[in-house]
A = this chain, B = another copy of it.
Amino acid sequence: MKNILFTVEYDGTGFVGWQRQPGQRSVQGELEKGLALLLDQPIELLASSRTDAGVHAYGQKTNFIADFPMPVAKIRRAINGFLPDDVIITQVEEVPMEFHARFSAIGKRYVYKIIRADERRIFDRKYALTVTRSLDVEAMNRAAQFFTGTHDFKAFSGKNGQINKSTERTIHSMTVSEQPQNAVHIEVVGNAFLYKMVRMMTGSLLNIGYGKNPPEAIGQILEGKMKRIGNTAKPQGLYLVEVYFDQEKLRRTL
């Protein structure tokens, strides 16, 4: 038996999200189907993050334990032959048996892509949020600094049956920056994220970028002195870029 860790890239457009749902097309479902065909046994995957419908990933992580008829080095190519064209395994590693893609994760990095344009954009519509209003990127970046540190992010949490669980999270860094071709990227690294948290944070930053509220509003919201501002930003701009693990845990018993 081996514990195998996949790095997965996918275009979230055609999926109901990561999580398997009966009768719906999910990333987990497609991967499990491909693995079952390849390995001729049912496989259940554990993922670092349950991304929503429309959210993309460059570096989702998922693991499973199975008996393997082939060397680890051959798995990547073999499994990719059984996957549809909107998902691909980019890396395969063998990890210690106690490794768990979700519980062993110590942090995640997300990027939210925004494109400034005079009009809605045809070719980017599923891969970024188009903003036609002017955007004060510098104010957004100042506002983002209020998110860093450890806070109660309850105001930035969607309902997902997680009542009574802690809503305290730590944001290690968050930057809003100009990118080539009129893009603006919001990059955030944190220990863990609540349901819809990045999209809600993005919505508030956009509200500040439009000049509707000052950067200090973020501090007020986190302290519970003000209601959350802005909307939940659309899923198509969001990318799960990287998942961080305790390197010792990742290698220990191998």
Residues of A at the B interface (CB closer than 8 Å) are 9-11, 56, 80, 85-88, 90, 119-120, 122-123, 125, 127
Contact = CB atoms under 8 A, between A and B. Distances in A.
A117 to B, nearest CB: 11
Contacts of A120: 80, 85, 88
For A11, A56, A119, A123, which residue has the most chain B Cβ atoms within 10 angstroms?
A123
Contact of A88 (B9, B10, B119): B119
A122 B80 contact: no
Contact of A10 (B87, B122, B127): B122
A123 to B, nearest CB: 6
Contacts of A90: 119
A152 to B, nearest CB: 36
A27 to B, nearest CB: 11
A11 B88 CA distance: 23
A120 B123 CA distance: 19
Contact of A122 (B86, B119, B123, B125): B86
A208 to B, nearest CB: 27
Given A11-B123, A11-B125, A85-B122, 4 more contacts: A10-B122, A88-B120, A88-B122, A90-B119
A83 to B, nearest CB: 10
Contacts of A122: 9-11, 85-88
Contacts of A11: 122-123, 125
A119 B80 contact: yes
A89 to B, nearest CB: 10
B86 A125 contact: yes
For A9, A85, A90, A122, which residue has the most chain B Cβ atoms within 10 angstroms?
A122
